[in-house]
Amino acid sequence: MKMNGAEILMECMVREGVDTIFGYPGGAIMPVHDAMLKYPVHHILTRHEQGAAHAADGYARASGKVGVAVATSGPGATNLVTGIATAIMDSVPIVCITGQVAAHLIGGDAFQEVDVTGITLPITKHNYLITSADEIAQVVREAFHIARSGRPGPVLIDICKNAQLEEIEFEYPEGEFSLPGYHPPDHAPMEGLKKAIELIEAAERPVILAGHGVQMSGAMEELKMFATKTNTPVAMTLLGLGAIPASDPLSLGMMGMHGEAYANEAIQESDLLLAFGMRFDDRVTGLLSTYAPKAKKIHIEIDATEVHKNVTVDVPLMGDLKTVLSDLIPMLDEYDHEKWMTQIGEWKAETKERSIMSWHDDGKLYTAHAIRALWNATEGDSLVVTGVGQHQMWAAQYYEFEKPYKLLTSGGAGTMGYGIPAALGAWFADKESDVWLIDGDGSFQMTQAELSTLMQEGASVKIALMNNSFLGMVRQWQEFFFDKRYAATPISGPDFVKLAEAHGIPARRVTKPEEAMDAIKFAQETPGPVLIEFQVEMEEAVYPMVPAGAPLNEMLRRPIRK
């Protein structure tokens, strides 16, 4: 059958399970948008290509499938870059399709020509430049396989316009797909497993560090079995939250710069760290030279480049986390670390005395209180998307995640503006899901144009906008370390209620703690997107906080209320 390159692209993507595409049209990608009309896919017109990349990211995280973003050449392609960088840092499987000028024009500075494969080489798992139609089928199959396998990540396909228009005889290549030379590890060697068992048997103060890899591997049950059998507490990274229920007695909550104080204390006093699908980034470790100085370290990781990169470990176990834990658990004996758990319990009790939850009676509206009200109203069962900033950390601390795959947030890149488009993508992954976006006024304003996309698509995303009229996290650093010289952090904004209503989105404003529950109930009962603006305290800080360059346990703490 004769097909042009654009039709071949669409045929191959549909065969890969694609039914939702986020994008923005333009001259160099126009044939692909034309071909979409012949296939059972829904194209969501975002208002900016960055929104398309973040929406594809949110879709991928919420669905477990590969997200797809499409853009034209030049500025369309470069506008995807921030979203691609966000995806590579957080190991999110997306495929970005960009149009490119005709092959014979490449290198001539043609209109809207940009070397997008060169630009994105450091921030993609792999990328391709297609100059003829007969390359498309193989490249698309490779791209989706690479994006979703091993340690997932973004792949970019740049397609010249002549390749999109060229007609060739095409028959889809049936049969099992394999990519020679690309074999992500599965089982760890038995020798390594035996060494790990020796360290586990000798440990008296072990701590599991559960990262994003737990959920990406689907290893939640194995994590629970391992932790229960060995009576080992579990600290989680930001993206690991939900790997074990927050209410589980073995849960230490989030670790790191704004993690629970008792989690950080436990890590620093431990004699064995078991790192499961995490990469020891700087926000988790604090000062590397002082990190967990008494601990032996076991690292289960699928990406060889992450092993020994930041922290040298005693036993690296290369492989798929779910598979490696399944091999390891039958080899384990049961252990009782009662003394260790008692010590952690004492740290937990001391931390509870510092909680802002005891400050309900001062009449002020704090972001933490608004998030806890949301947690109560949703019974902790919503899919929560956040922007980046103080509200992100408070969401991690006060919306207690009992289930996996319930928190979507930009961790490694810390991308402001992630929230609205990612929530849009998450809703398209499951239109029956209860999606709440917790955003800050600074992060929100970066991609607020996507409110139009929410409304056009009827996406039932509920927005809890925390407005403190500051770029809050930067302001906090200026308060602590720059003598309150608030340079470039006070930020004005529109009347957010009127802004939402201008898009046709119902909205309310909350200024007092007692108004929060009624406003949240209004959002829950109103069909389609809704915005609730919470006018919160302007100069509140996120505690605890590990200052840059400080050991993990040298935290700035919220004072105990007298």
Q: Is the pLDDT of residue 363 over 90?
A: no
Confidence label for 508 from pLDDT (cuts 50, 70 and 90): very high
What is the model's pLDDT at position 355? 86
Nearest in space to 457 (alpha carbons), one of 395, 520, 528: 528
**Catalytic residue at 1?**
no
Element (H or E) spanning 534, and its range?
strand 530-535
Claim: this prediction has a pTM higher than 0.95: yes
**Catalytic position from the list 111, 480, 481, 482:** 111
| Averaged pLDDT of the chain | 97
**Catalytic position from the list 7, 49, 260, 306:** 49
**Catalytic residue at 194?**
no
Cβ burial of 559 (10 Å; 0-12, 13-18, 19+) is exposed
What CATH number is given for 190-349 in this structure?
3.40.50.1220
**Catalytic position from the list 30, 112, 343, 348:** 112
Tokens of 110: 């043609």
Residues of the chain with CATH 3.40.50.1220: 190-349
**Catalytic position from the list 416, 473, 545, 555:** 473
**Catalytic residue at 11?**
no
**Catalytic residue at 482?**
no
- Average pLDDT for residues 79-86, to the nearest whole number? 98
| Between 432 and 163, the higher pLDDT residue | 163
Confidence label for 362 from pLDDT (cuts 50, 70 and 90): confident
Q: Is the pLDDT of residue 353 over 90?
A: no
Q: Can you give 344-365 as a three-state secondary structure string? A: HHHHHHHHHCCCHHHHHHHCCC
Residues of the chain with CATH 3.40.50.970: 2-169, 356-535
Nearest in space to 295 (alpha carbons), one of 277, 275, 281, 279: 275
- Average pLDDT for residues 79-94, to the nearest whole number? 98
**Catalytic position from the list 161, 297, 322, 462:** 161
What is the model's pLDDT at position 176? 83
Nearest in space to 43 (alpha carbons), one of 338, 428, 496, 551: 428
Q: Is the pLDDT of residue 553 over 80?
A: yes
CA–CA separation, 86 vs 93, rounded Å? 11
Q: Which tens digit of pLDDT belongs to each residue from 295-310? A: 999 999 999 999 999 9
What is the model's pLDDT at position 404? 97
Per CATH, domain 356-535 is 3.40.50.970: yes
User: Domain 2-169: which topology?
Assistant: Rossmann fold (3.40.50)
What is the model's pLDDT at position 467? 98
Confidence label for 2 from pLDDT (cuts 50, 70 and 90): very high
Question: Comparing 6-20, 163-177, 207-221, 448-462, which segment has the lowest mean pLDDT?
Answer: 163-177
CA–CA separation, 382 vs 403, rounded Å? 10
CA–CA separation, 473 vs 334, rounded Å? 43
| Between 323 and 432, the higher pLDDT residue | 323
What is the model's pLDDT at position 562? 66
**Catalytic residue at 50?**
no
What is the model's pLDDT at position 556? 96
Q: Which tens digit of pLDDT belongs to each residue from 23-58? A: 999 999 999 999 999 999 999 999 999 999 999 999
